[in-house]
Amino acid sequence: MNIALEVKKMTMDFGGLRAIDNLDLDVKHGEIVALIGPNGAGKTTFFNCITGVYRPTRGDILIYPPDREQLRINGLKSNNVTEKGMARTFQNIRLFPNMTVLENVMIGRHCRTKSGVFSAIFRSRKTIHEENDIVEKSYNILEKIGIERFVNEFAKNLPYGVQRKLEIARALATDPFILLLDEPAAGMNPIEIKELDELIKKIRKQEKLSILLIEHHMSLVMNLSDRIFVMDYGRKIAQGTPDEIKSNKDVIKAYLGEDSDA
């Protein structure tokens, strides 16, 4: 398998505080990789760095789109990162509350479509075609995720689990080749988590994309991921297959505290 995302020696400082320290990470095409670690380990900061919300202090972030040259995306604005094919969801759900479910997904199509102010006013055949295309594609994604029955609801009125799924749908609408999921199972009940597990596998299979996820639900992580990276205090402390991670001493120490190995 070829590499899809490669992070080399990335460091992020906030003033005097080092949030991420010399981190290396890679995701191959078609792979599901999990990034785990205790609260405050710097996982979300890592996401923010590679998606252009923050500009990392040092290091390289490289992406390898399937049909194009490799790209260094340090310091790109987050909309450009998405345009290049890396989409994300947010830990604290950030939907557009006063837009309908369909419109939320349609926003995802924005960077793959073109029509501007004038074509919106004159509504040429091309624009109508594009508009219909957006609606159709968005609806298909909703069907795929299994939330099409909420299509005309306002996002703010959705149940929590559906909101999480809508975030994934919206990210998928941008045609990514890497999908970054920030705690997709947070706040879900066991049944919803099981559904999510299947959904993520299905997405990978159907869309042929790589997934990098941050998650705290260990059963989900162990079940889904091909490889796992573990962070603590901004550093990578372990990487490997789920089985390797389960028996890794450093990981257990990080999760249970220094004294627990006694």
Binding site for another protein (CB under 8 A): 14, 44, 48, 51, 53-54, 77-79, 82-83, 87-88, 90, 94-100, 102-103, 106-108, 110-113, 115-117, 120-121, 123, 127, 130-132, 134-136, 139-140, 148, 151-152, 154, 157, 170-171, 174
Q: How far is the CB of 167 from another protein (least distance, A)?
A: 9
State how beta strands 227-232 and 210-214 pair: unpaired
Residue that has been written with the tokens 């992406």 in this structure? 63
Q: How far is the CB of 243 from another protein (least distance, A)?
A: 33
Nearer to another protein, 43 or 227 (CB): 43
Q: How far is the CB of 53 from another protein (least distance, A)?
A: 5
What angle (nearest 5°) sits at the alpha carbon of residue 141, between those of residues 135 and 144? 145
Nearer to another protein, 118 or 219 (CB): 118
Nearer to another protein, 25 or 106 (CB): 106
Nearer to another protein, 166 or 230 (CB): 166
10 Å CB burial of residue 126 (0-12, 13-18, 19+) is exposed
Nearer to another protein, 23 or 169 (CB): 169
Please, what sign has the CA dihedral across residues 218, 39, 234, 51? Answer: positive
Q: Are 251 and 238 in contact (CB under 8 A)?
A: yes
Q: Are 197 and 223 in contact (CB under 8 A)?
A: yes
Q: How far is the CB of 89 from another protein (least distance, A)?
A: 9
Nearer to another protein, 48 or 210 (CB): 48
Whose CA is closest to 233, among 10, 21, 7? 21
- Strands (E) in the chain, as ranges, are 3-14, 17-28, 32-36, 58-63, 71-72, 86-88, 178-182, 210-214, 227-232, 235-240
Q: How far is the CB of 257 from another protein (least distance, A)?
A: 24
Q: How far is the CB of 260 from another protein (least distance, A)?
A: 28
